[in-house]
Structure formats: structure tokens, C-alpha cells
């Protein structure tokens, strides 16, 4: 599993010169036998897309905000169960180690007699979704479309209908954009490498270059046989055989075939919304955080969070862990308030139907959007960060000024909705759901505009208050109160920074609210005991921001233990299983145990569905506060002694989480737990403190008995 929130590339990096690659070779039926390893020649055309052209190409998608993801294929037949295992999904062939001959028997069983493309598209449309991304081929290699390049497709099943054709026609009839998910990784094609680690199928004669030609040929089919396609949603790009040298030409091929098609960042090796793009630029138009929502707005490149409705992408008959419609509506709003799109997944049954629990939730989302869609579609990220009461999106209305959509999740008890640090003149306010647009009173209270609301929230899930203001938003966020640590041993220096120029900051350390007569911040504030620091921005004696508050706590050092008799390195326990959160490893039997130099995966037997538990001692050179940071994909936790210092658990992209702990100089027991489900994987454990600049914990500092 994958994806995190930092951007390593600005939009400009994306505007690569488009290289036009030679078309794929046609190939006979069965698995393609295109020219073995044909070089992928590319010509570099003179054209390069300008930022305006890029923005125009993505405009419909960014305004759409909300799409349906569909994971469907042979895996819907076992529906998550294999032997005694019941927690499988679309990865069942891998997670249940099903030999290819056994898995291929599903081809003769695939007969979704209840499939109705019009009905599927109607559910999406009534949910307020504007585009559909469906798995034309997932990692198992089975194609839901009629491909001339393989017999491993829907035309070899009893169903014998081109599902992608029926769906694209229905989308066109009902005004939704048809988009393809297509997996680069292919566990079936004889030329795809690597083979699954557990399977005995020989790789003899496999030619990855020939597979790439097959892949390009199928992409050509998908972009020439089904009309106008909105997005190519590539996936399964993470294995080492796939490289930028293949990714960029594949991106270029898509643009050559349909110049207006949009392509996600998984066509190549970079990660726009997941923090791993870095060196040089990679192909791809937008980032794809998965199963998570970035904590803050991301404005420099387009992005889309994809998410399951329960815990599986492919249909799992027993998975009833459905997100509520309230959660889903608020996720859509949260994502839109940060400038992103929401791609919400449905896993249809083998009979070709959406599970009723999906339809119910999608109908609730559609009902909310039918009333409040103006606050989502064609809006942009709000001018201030997530608020305790809810979120904000915005548009620039025809008559000038700015229209703020205040999404109130938590209705103020006193009916006063205060928007702190907002300096614009208010032009008016009303409830979006109120057809009469009865005006709501808006008053200025120091730095805040305060909207007088009805006593009770008309919509407990999210009531949208429209606030029209003059001009572009003039927002002063609260000052930033920071220090190297939030806990300290003997003394601590606290820094308070203004969010913008021409404001002064006044502060208190006795817990009272700062006023125009409170002391000015004129440098670091030194603390020698547990203290609550409050600060606020002022201008010409008037408060111009909401107050900020931070508590710094004095703590005692954790005594060190002896490293007597310890040897360099850690002890590890290696586990295999299918989890979406860290299991209690103490209740499981490790596949193997041993010693390793540090937190690495060298002892794993497979690339997915594995976990580690590392334990030992970490030695720190001096007394003081130490910050431990764990960056992982998927979940992880770090303990010092029995204290949980870093909790980075869950199914997520590469994501770093830090924690602090006061340590006496010497050795301290450390334990790190990690699990990987599917997709990218990574684990990095860092520390910093007195005498230690921020770094991966070196082997020299690790030992174990
Ligand atoms: O391995 C796939 C997974 O099955 C699913 O398709 C998700 C959807 O984004 N993508 C990969 C995991 O990151």
C-alpha cells in the first residue's frame, strides 16, 4: 500500500517535452509474441505543453472533484475466500499463492449475468460522481475488454461481451467520463518479470521488452477502440523491471493517441503526492495518495485520493467494515477543501452487481451533493487550513470578490460561527440549502468575521454556509508557536513567528489571552517549567488573528540500562500475513527469527504481505530530548521501553511520523514493528538529539543480547 502527502515536484517539472514513441507491434492472439525486446524508440517532438494548456487539459477533471473507482475481475468469483482464508481481495492469487492453472479456471466461471452498464453508470451519476475509472486489467492480467493481443480476456468467458465497450457507451449516453485503470504489473503474461516469489512457473524465455510491447499494444487498444477516454490510471509500477525509460514513452504514447487524455503519476517511477518523486522529473499529470487524505492543502500539483468503501478494493463477501455516509461526505469535503479529487471505490460481485451497502452510501452522498454540489464542483481549496468547526472551499463569483463555502461539521452551540483572521469586508451570508437565501447576520469581532447561525444545524453531516467577501481573501493565520521539542528536561527556547509581514505578536505565559498590552515577542522565549504559551497577531493595537496556544511540558529523564554483553545489531522476527493494521505479533508465530544489522527487509521471503518485529538497544550519547522518526509504507510503530513513541500504523503511502522522549545518556530498549500489505514498501528509522544530528540510526548505536 502506498502514498504520502509531500510534493517533490512543482507543476513546471511536469511540463516535460513530450516524446512520441513508436506504436506497439500488432501481435497474434494468445499472449502477444511481439518482436522480442524491440527497442522503444522515441522521437522528441518540438512541442511542450504550456502551464495554461496543462491547466486546460485537466480542467474538466479538476472541476469534477468526485469519481467512481471500480475493481472488478476474476477475483470477484472467490470473493475474498480461499481455503480457510477469508480476508483476500483483488490480490487473492498472490496472497493465497494460487498456481496459475488453478486461478485460470475462473475464466470458465466468469459470467456476470446481472451486469448492466446503464445501471452502474446511473448509480455513479446519482452519487454525484462525474467520471468512472475501471480496471481494464488488474495485476492478475485478466482483461475485461476484448483484446486482440491475448485470449486471457472476457471474450474467453461464458459472458463473451466486451464489458468496457458497454460501459464506455453507457458513460457517453449519461454524460460521465470513461477512464481506464490499467496495471503495468501482470502476473499472467509469460514475458512479465519478475515471477511471483512463491510460484514455480519458469521464467525461461521471458522477455520483459516484449511484454512492454504487449502492454503498449493494449494501451493502444484502450485508447483507440472505446472513444474519448478521460484518464489513464496506471498502477503496479513499483517493481524494479519497470523503469522511467519505459514510463515516459508510455505516457507519451497515451498523449499521442489521445492528446487530451490525463495520466496519473503511476505511469512512471515518481510520486507527485507521495513524497518520492525527487531526483529529476517523472511522467504523470497528478498525484495519487491512496487510502489517506493529505493533512494540509496541496496546491502546486493536482492530486486525487483513492479510497475503498470498506477494506478491500476487489469484492470480499465477508467485509462489512463500511465507512459511514457521514464519514464519506466529510472526506469528500476535506479533500476538496485541500484542492484534491476523491476517487471512491466499488468492488462489484461476480454476478455483476454493486453491493447494496455501497449503493446506499453512494445514494446518501448524491443526496447531499444534489443540495450542496455548488460548494464542491469547480471550487478550489479554501484560503485557510482545516478548522475545528469544519472546512472551507471557495470560488470567484462572476461579480468579483470571493465566495467562501463554510462546511460546518460541528455546529457552534452559541450559534456564532467565528472565522478568525479574516480581514475582508463581508458582503453577505446565507445557508446554501436555503432556496430563499435568507440573509444571515455577519459582524466583525476583532480579527474575526462572525456569522449568526440558526440554533440548530439544518444538516448534521455538513451544513454549508455561504459567505461572500469583497476582494481576494485577506487571511492572517495565528502565529506559529514552535520549539525543538514539546517536552523538555531543564530548559527550552520557544519561537513564535508571524504568518505574514506587518503584524506584531503579543504573548502570555500565564495562560491568559494576549491583549494589546501583553508583551511583544522580540525573540525566543525561554522556559524552565511546564508552560502554556498563548500568542496572537496585532496590527495598530488591534488583534488581527485568532490566538494560538501551545503547551510545553517539563519531564524527567528515562534512566539508561546497561549494554553489558550486548552484540552489535538487532534481533528480528519475520512474519507473513494479510493485514491492514499492525497485528499483535506476540500472538503470531514468526516464519523465521535471527539477527540483522539494522531495520532492513533483507530477511523477507516475499515482496507483499509481510511484517517484521525488530528489538534491541539504542545507545544515546548525552542526557536530553531525543526525537525518533519512522518513515514507512505501510504501517509501523516505535517503542522505547514499553512506551509507544511513534505510531505510524495503518495502510498508507510513504509517511513519516515522529515522537519525542527524554533519555539519560546510555542504552535504552527499542522495538520497531512494521507491516507491508501490497504495492510500494519502505522503512526508515531516524533519531536526533543532544550530540546526534538527524540521521538514520547507525548500526553502531544498535545492539542486542
Ligand atoms: O496493488 C494495487 C491494489 O490492488 C489497488 O488496485 C490499489 C488501488 O489504488 N493500487 C495498488 C496498491 O497501491
- CATH code of 567-704, in short, is 2.60.120.1560
Strands (DSSP E) found in 59-147: 66-70, 131-137
**Neighbour tally for 60: CB within 10 Å:** 15
Can you say whether residue 370 is alpha, beta or left, with left for phi > 0 and alpha for psi between -120 and 50 degrees?
alpha
Choosing from 313, 315, 346, 676 the residue with most ligand 1 atoms within 8 A of its CB, the one to mutate for a pocket test is 313
Q: How far is the CA of 2 from the centre of ligand 1 (A)?
A: 8
**Neighbour tally for 87: CB within 10 Å:** 18
What class has domain 50-375? Answer: alpha beta
Task: Tell me phi and psi for residue 421, to 5 degrees.
Answer: 70, 25
Q: How far is the CA of 631 from the centre of ligand 1 (A)?
A: 20
Angle in degrees, CA 611, 612, 614, rounded to 5: 165
CATH 3.30.43, domain 480-554, yes or no? no
Ligand 1 neighbourhood includes 2 CB (under 6 angstroms): yes
First-to-last CA distance in the chain?
33
Ligand 1 neighbourhood includes 135 CB (under 6 angstroms): no
Ligand 1 neighbourhood includes 676 CB (under 6 angstroms): no
Choosing from 679, 680, 681 the residue with most ligand 1 atoms within 8 A of its CB, the one to mutate for a pocket test is 679
Ligand 1 neighbourhood includes 264 CB (under 6 angstroms): no
Per-10-residue mean pLDDT, the chain, length 705: 34 32 33 35 49 95 98 98 94 94 98 98 98 98 98 98 98 98 98 94 96 98 98 96 96 96 94 53 91 92 96 97 98 98 98 98 98 98 96 92 98 96 96 97 95 97 98 94 90 91 90 95 96 94 91 95 92 93 94 94 90 97 95 96 95 90 96 93 95 95 95
Ligand 1 neighbourhood includes 1 CB (under 6 angstroms): yes
Angle in degrees, CA 373, 374, 380, rounded to 5: 105
CA distance 256 to 502: 51
Ligand 1 neighbourhood includes 679 CB (under 6 angstroms): yes
User: Which pLDDT does position 194 carry in this prediction?
Assistant: 96
Three-state DSSP class for residue 224 = helix
Closest to 452 measured CA to CA, from 440, 444, 468, 460: 440
Ligand 1: nearest atom to the Cα of 314: 4
> Considering the domain 382-469, what is its CATH architecture?
Sandwich (2.60)
CA distance 608 to 628: 26
Ligand 1: nearest atom to the Cα of 313: 5
User: Which pLDDT does position 607 carry in this prediction?
Assistant: 86
What is the value of pTM for the model shown?
Answer: 0.82
Element (H, E) at 426: strand 426-431
Choosing from 141, 290, 305, 345 the residue with most ligand 1 atoms within 8 A of its CB, the one to mutate for a pocket test is 290
Choosing from 678, 681, 682 the residue with most ligand 1 atoms within 8 A of its CB, the one to mutate for a pocket test is 678
Same CATH topology for 382-469 and 480-554?
A: yes
Domain residue ranges of the chain, discontinuous segments joined by +: 50-375, 382-469, 480-554, 567-704
User: Which pLDDT does position 274 carry in this prediction?
Assistant: 52
Q: How far is the CA of 621 from the centre of ligand 1 (A)?
A: 43
Ligand 1 neighbourhood includes 580 CB (under 6 angstroms): no
Three-state DSSP class for residue 488 = strand
CA 267, 271, 274, 276 dihedral sign is positive
Ligand 1 neighbourhood includes 154 CB (under 6 angstroms): no
User: Which pLDDT does position 563 carry in this prediction?
Assistant: 87
Closest to 430 measured CA to CA, from 405, 455, 459, 461: 405
Q: How far is the CA of 138 from the centre of ligand 1 (A)?
A: 9
Amino acid at each position: 500500500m502506498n502514498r504520502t502527502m509531500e510534493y517533490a515536484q512543482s507543476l513546471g517539472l511536469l511540463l516535460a517535452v513530450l516524446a512520441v514513441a513508436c506504436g506497439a507491434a500488432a501481435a497474434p492472439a494468445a499472449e502477444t509474441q511481439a518482436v522480442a525486446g524491440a527497442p522503444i524508440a522515441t522521437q522528441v517532438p518540438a512541442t511542450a505543453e504550456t502551464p495554461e494548456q496543462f491547466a486546460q487539459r485537466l480542467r474538466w477533471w479538476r472541476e469534477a472533484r468526485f469519481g467512481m473507482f471500480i475493481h472488478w475481475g476474476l477475483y470477484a468469483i472467490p470473493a475474498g475466500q480461499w481455503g480457510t482464508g477469508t480476508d483476500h481481495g483483488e490480490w487473492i492469487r498472490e496472497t493465497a499463492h494460487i498456481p496459475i492453472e488453478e486461478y485460470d479456471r475462473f475464466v470458465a466461471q466468469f459470467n456476470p449475468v446481472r451486469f448492466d452498464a446503464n445501471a452502474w453508470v446511473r448509480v455513479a451519476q446519482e452519487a454525484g460522481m462525474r467520471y468512472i475509472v475501471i480496471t481494464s486489467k488488474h495485476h492478475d492480467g485478466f482483461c475485461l475488454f476484448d483484446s486482440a493481443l491475448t485470449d486471457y480476456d472476457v471474450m474467453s468467458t461464458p459472458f463473451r461481451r466486451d464489458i468496457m465497450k458497454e460501459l464506455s457507451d453507457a458513460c457517453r449516453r449519461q454524460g460521465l467520463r470513461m477512464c481506464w485503470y490499467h496495471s503495468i504489473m501482470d502476473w499472467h503474461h509469460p514475458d512479465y518479470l519478475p515471477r511471483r516469489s512463491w510460484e514455480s512457473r519458469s521464467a525461461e524465455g521471458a522477455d520483459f521488452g516484449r511484454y512492454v510491447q504487449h502492454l503498449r499494444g493494449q494501451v493502444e487498444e484502450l485508447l483507440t477502440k472505446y472513444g474519448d477516454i478521460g484518464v489513464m490510471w496506471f498502477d503496479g509500477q513499483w517493481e524494479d523491471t519497470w523503469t522511467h525509460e519505459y514510463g515516459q514513452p508510455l505516457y507519451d504514447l497515451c498523449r499521442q493517441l489521445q492528446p487530451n487524455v490525463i495520466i496519473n503519476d503511476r505511469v512512471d517511477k515518481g510520486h507527485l503526492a507521495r513524497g518520492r518523486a525527487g531526483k529529476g522529473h517523472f511522467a504523470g499529470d497528478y498525484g495519487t495518495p491512496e487510502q489517506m487524505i493529505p493533512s494540509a492543502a496541496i496546491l502546486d500539483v493536482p492530486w486525487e485520493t483513492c479510497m475503498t468503501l470498506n477494506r478491500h478494493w476487489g469484492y470480499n463477501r465477508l467485509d462489512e467494515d463500511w465507512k459511514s455516509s457521514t464519514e464519506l461526505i466529510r472526506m469528500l469535503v476535506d479533500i476538496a477543501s485541500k484542492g484534491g479529487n476523491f476517487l471512491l471505490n466499488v468492488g462489484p460481485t461476480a454476478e455483476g452487481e454493486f453491493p447494496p451497502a455501497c449503493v446506499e452510501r453512494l445514494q446518501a452522498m448524491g443526496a447531499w451533493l444534489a443540495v450542496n454540489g455548488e460548494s464542491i464542483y469547480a471550487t478550489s481549496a479554501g484560503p485557510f487550513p482545516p478548522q475545528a468547526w469544519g472546512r472551507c472551499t471557495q470560488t470567484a463569483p462572476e461579480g468579483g470578490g470571493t465566495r467562501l463555502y463554510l462546511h460546518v461539521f460541528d455546529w457552534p452551540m452559541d450559534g456564532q460561527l467565528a472565522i478568525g483572521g479574516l480581514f475582508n469586508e463581508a458582503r453577505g451570508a446565507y445557508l446554501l440549502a436555503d432556496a430563499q437565501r435568507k440573509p444571515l447576520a455577519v459582524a466583525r469581532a476583532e480579527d474575526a468575521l462572525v456569522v449568526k447561525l440558526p440554533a440548530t444545524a439544518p444538516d448534521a453531516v455538513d451544513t454549508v454556509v455561504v459567505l461572500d467577501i469583497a476582494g481576494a481573501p485577506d487571511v492572517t493565520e495565528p502565529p506559529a508557536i514552535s520549539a525543538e521539542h514539546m517536552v523538555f528536561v531543564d530548559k527550552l527556547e520557544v519561537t513564535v513567528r508571524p504568518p505574514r509581514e506587518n503584524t506584531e505578536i503579543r504573548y502570555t505565559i500565564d495562560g491568559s489571552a494576549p491583549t494589546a498590552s501583553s508583551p511583544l515577542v522580540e525573540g525566543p522565549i525561554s522556559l524552565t517549567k511546564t508552560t502554556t504559551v498563548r500568542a496572537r497577531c496585532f496590527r495598530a493595537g488591534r488583534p488581527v488573528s485568532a490566538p494560538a496556544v501551545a503547551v510545553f511540558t517539563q519531564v524527567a529523564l528515562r534512566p539508561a540500562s546497561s549494554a553489558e554483553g550486548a552484540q552489535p545489531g538487532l534481533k528480528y522476527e519475520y512474519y507473513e500475513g494479510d493485514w491492514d493494521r499492525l497485528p499483535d505479533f506476540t500472538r503470531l508465530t514468526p516464519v523465521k527469527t535471527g539477527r540483522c544489522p539494522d531495520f532492513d527487509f533483507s530477511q523477507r521471503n516475499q515482496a507483499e504481505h509481510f511484517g517484521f518485529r525488530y528489538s534491541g538497544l539504542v545507545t544515546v550519547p548525552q542526557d536530553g530530548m531525543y526525537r525518533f522518526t519512522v518513515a514507512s509504507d505501510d504501517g509501523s510503530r516505535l517503542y522505547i521501553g514499553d512506551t509507544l513513541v511513534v505510531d505510524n500504523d495503518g495502510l498508507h503511502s510513504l509517511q513519516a511520523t515522529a515522537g519525542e522522549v527524554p533519555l539519560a545518556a546510555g542504552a535504552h530498549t527499542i522495538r520497531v514493528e512494521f507491516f507491508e500489505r501490497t504495492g510500494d514498501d519502505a522503512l526508515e528509522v531516524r533519531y536526533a538529539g543532544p550530540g546526534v544530528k538527524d540521521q538514520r540510526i547507525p548500526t553502531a548505536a544498535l545492539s542486542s543480547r
